[in-house]
Amino acid sequence: MREHGLLAGTLIASGSERMTALARALGFDEPSTQAMRDIFLTLASSWGALPVGEAPPWPSDVCDDHSPFELSVAIDAEGPQLRVLVEPMDAPFSLSANRAASLRLHEELARTQGLHLERLRALEGLLMPEDARGRFVAWYSAAFSPGHPVDFKAYFNLLAQGPGRAARLTEEALHRIGFHAAWSSVAEVMGRREVGMDEPVYFALDLSPRADARAKLYFRHHRATASFLEEVCALGRHHQPGVAAEFCRQMAGGGEGPYGGKGLVTCLSFTDPSDARPQAVTVYFPMSHHARDDREIRQRITGYLDSQGLATGPYLGALEASAHRPLEAGTGIHTYAAVRWQGRPRVTVYFSPETYGMMRQPSREPPAVEVARPATEIVDHFETHSVADHPFFTRMQREPVRLEVLARLLANFRVGITREFPRRLAWLTARATDERIRSVLAKQLNDELGDGDFTRAHRGLFERMFEVLAPWAPPETQEVLAPGHALGAELERCYVSAEPYEGVGASLVVEVYGKQVDTFVADQFRRQTQIPPSALEWLHLHEHLEVEHASESMDMARLIPTGPASEAAWRGAKAVATASRAFFDALYRQCYP
């Protein structure tokens, strides 16, 4: 038996049938519907012949049930738009095989759709590495509107080189396609809360040859509130105050957050390479994770559409075409609902085909108590999430060495770290409650002070090195040194006045980051020829000593009891990581305006 010439029981027949049902529910004529099916067949060609089974052959992250395609309907004053999102995948299923399927699709889209893929080609090697990690390599979408050309987009995984390099990949991707100014908005989103709470996850490109072709950056926000998401959306040039917060409240059934479970998503959409601000920001609410069942979700979405003066008919028709079971049976038909304001509201609702079953009703049991993590994981985590992957360092490494940039960096190190570090470390050493930890800290303090020889004290060696950079040093104004003062204030709090174990946790990250930064800076000096190596004694000493101190940090972490002490250590570690990110964000803005 065949469906529109497709073998029944295959994934592509199932997807084609569902797309046809949605297109008819939205009023598309038969020629348009057939054209949609043809494009869907192209996007899904790598896996279309697979049979529909009880378990997915590859756990696609396109939908919660791991279906490799998702359908959605966008509703605004101009009428509905039908969209399809697909993940190419190929047997034997792996990220490597899926990458090969995606590269073949690039060629097919260029051949059959006449797309100009120059921007996509510029990102293939960066965002589609051969040793890709994470849950996917690339996704592709097509959007269909009556009377308009088809819009194609490609989505890339910013976690493809590991979570610790997502920011670095983002900055590099923006640079490669000419959107240099956009990084400041990206850094602002990431810098509003504790490090790790707001992570870049997807990078998308419009593939259609349009003058206003977009570059889009998606963030996942963990435990965000409605008011915080309103702040993120306010970055958009067409922001309408209150829209994002009210949307979140209505989609959550009245809750203000923080929203647990699967984090909410925002998308910053850039169209002008010279503009640091996105034209629009979209907020996506993961409906299935915040409602009892799909019937409750329907009530929330129709209520919101009514409140915005948008027609509910297209949504209800699409839902009826998508639902193949009672709405009250559980959640899973709806995946996300989204709103974007660009002169007027556009609401998009995303539907899972539930090829592999529905989600169950969210548990009513109390949330599990979070178990304290051992302090040893602090060292492992910040070794993996290296501060040297910050885009400030990416930019320095990408360009010829500029001694004025190195001098500005070291001037801020001077006021933020080196001038007061021996005193702060002495305070922490005195306050440590575990004699074994105090012994390690005391050894590091002795190293800082030159092992009894004041002429070898690190602060003095740093000052002599800094004198060599005097011809390139910036004026020591409050504005220039603001990053250093801000970092120094947080180090002062952690080392001198915070709970002792919080200070110890901070010291673990300071030593790990110190090793990473010293190694990077030493490499930069080795790339230049204006300053001789003999003038860089402090750097050579620290480059080797910080490796030793970072190793001692793991020894010290093993001495921190798991429980309240390790929780305090994690607080200190995250505080230093967050302050360090803000420090390098500020230097990026100063050095690369």
- Helix (H/G/I), strand (E/B), else coil: 386: coil
Whether the per-residue pLDDT at 513 is higher than 60: the answer is: yes
Give the active site residue among 70, 199, 448, 502.
Answer: 70
**Which pLDDT does position 393 carry in this prediction?**
96
Backbone angles phi, psi at 114, to 5 degrees: 65, 30
Q: Averaged over 31-46, what is the pLDDT? A: 94
Average pLDDT, the chain: 91
Q: How many helices (H) and strands (E) does the chain have?
A: 20, 12
**Which pLDDT does position 522 carry in this prediction?**
87
**Which pLDDT does position 79 carry in this prediction?**
85
CA distances from 313 to 26, 74, 324, 344, 576 (A): 9, 12, 19, 19, 51
Q: How far apart are CA 487 and CA 416, in angstroms?
A: 6
**Measuring CA to CA, which residue among 455, 449, 456, 460 is closest to residue 426?**
449
CB 229 within 8 A of CB 244: yes
Under DSSP, the state recorded for 470 is G
CB 387 within 8 A of CB 517: yes
Q: Which helix (H) or strand (E) holds 339?
A: strand 334-341
High-pLDDT (> 70) share of the chain, %: 95
Under DSSP, the state recorded for 238 is T
70 in active site? yes
Domains of the chain (ranges; CATH) run 13-351 (no CATH), 376-591 (1.20.910.10)
DSSP string for 30-52? HHHHHHHHHHHHHHTTTTTTSBP
Task: Kindly provide the residue ranges of all beta strands, DSSP E only, lying in 150-263, ordered along the sequence.
Answer: 151-157, 198-206, 215-221
Residue pLDDT, tens place only, 275-322:
999 999 999 999 999 999 999 999 999 999 999 999 999 999 999 999
pTM, two decimal places? 0.91
Backbone angles phi, psi at 345, to 5 degrees: -80, 145
Q: How far apart are CA 322 and CA 329, in angstroms?
A: 14
CB 240 within 8 A of CB 341: yes
Contacts of range 466-471, beta carbons closer than 8 Å, 24 or more positions apart: 466/410, 466/411, 466/414, 468/531, 468/535, 468/536, 469/403, 469/406, 469/407, 469/410, 469/531
**Which pLDDT does position 364 carry in this prediction?**
47
Backbone angles phi, psi at 2, to 5 degrees: -130, 145
Task: Kindly provide the residue ranges of all beta strands, DSSP E only, lying in 78-149, ordered along the sequence.
Answer: 79-86, 138-144
CA distances from 488 to 192, 413, 508 (A): 19, 9, 16
Q: How far apart are CA 469 and CA 503, in angstroms?
A: 32
**Which pLDDT does position 266 carry in this prediction?**
98
Q: Which helix (H) or strand (E) holds 341?
A: strand 334-341
Q: Averaged over 134-141, what is the pLDDT? A: 96
Residue pLDDT, tens place only, 542-568:
666 666 666 788 999 999 999 999 999
Whether the per-residue pLDDT at 48 is higher than 60: the answer is: yes
Residue pLDDT, tens place only, 445-474:
998 888 888 877 878 888 888 888 999 999
- Helix (H/G/I), strand (E/B), else coil: 76: strand
**Which pLDDT does position 542 carry in this prediction?**
62
CB 392 within 8 A of CB 519: no
Residue 499: partners with Cβ closer than 8 Å, 6 or more residues away: 568
